[in-house]
Structure 1
């Protein structure tokens, strides 16, 4: 989705941002690859929807032609040629372009360019800056309580233009007060602009019999807090059995009291009876 900055560095003393995955064969001079003008990495900048261009220089100091295979990773890089044969003791300049799609969010983006030849591979960080306003916006949606297990299910959505690292707080209230109160904590994920993810939150000891309101609050740096609620009624079998037993006991106790009160009444005296 983002762009490419290409640096492929020299084998010995590779510049910052480059990584030589293999060593040059003993007794040979190493070929090199780098952005034009010997920059430590290729830095490209432009708005979304543009095509940015640069040049990659491949240098072959050896006595034989060298075939180099080029590829881009993590960004849409287009080379004038994916495979380039560089004559002996020659430098070849290979144009390449990075397409910044219209939905690429503003900010810094990175990728990797890889050059492979003669059983060696060099990787280079690619750096792109997309201009435009930065907006951090996070929502929490579709909150659902699975009453059979107490599991909370919800969806986080990045509705801004920056990468977000969400935090989550959980609170649940029952008829008699607070049942669950988990303070804000970081989640093990990041969300790219437009990305959404559905997650679950365990609740190992939900109530057996209660009417509950669950509130989830999601936050991220620069974004306003987002809150969503869900209602749930818990009524497990054991809790219902216990509640029914209490009701029956209360009813039985009430009937016994009425019978006792009825049996202790004194019949009214007959009219005209002599004391």
Structure 2
């Protein structure tokens, strides 16, 4: 076998192949950009996976990388979140107890007359996201809302008379002589007479002179004018009936008389209603979770 010829032929072929000039191929820029973007996404996914596995919660990503949540494409949500809102205690307690997780707690705010159950509060060792809650926001009844509106400032005779007529079944009228019938009280409010009396005193002395003027204004009516009004109503749907005592006053400084109604001890009523709401929530929750007086806000 002639190995020498074989070797020479091989070297010749190699020389011929080396002298061959292949045509240049240009790679599109879009392909290079897509390749680089794919590498960047792959690196970001690896960094995210490492952060989740190590439970650091921190990850370094370039500013042009967008993290997208694909939960909407999954068959189920990863966890429950959202807010259930109701003006009634019973459905609030039903939802809170049905979906309460570890560390769930109810916070009752007496100032706003509202309650909030944070259902995924978690514990100190495993804190939750605190974004699943139930909100109790009682709504004023029509009667209590009308009462708060009419006592917010001075009103005309007609406005006060119509208020008494609308809620005649829930009001009682009194003055210094005792109880007044609704018919008498409404007629008195509609027929108020303003009497002004002016008096001037003058004294002349040899070396001095004194003059003084007095003016008195009196409001009166043919019917007895009530000075105290009892208004009974249920302030909120789940609360008990309550009697509000109103003071009636007549302002005579304008052309036509103006009437004011003021709720006595309104602050005390507010405190008592807040305490009643706390008790209602506690009884409805029935020990399923703690009920605290205050409010809760999730930190950053």
TM-score range, shorter chain: under 0.3
Give the TM-score normalised by structure 1.
0.25
Tell me which protein shows more helix as a share of its residues: 2
Tell me which structure has the larger Cα radius of gyration: 2
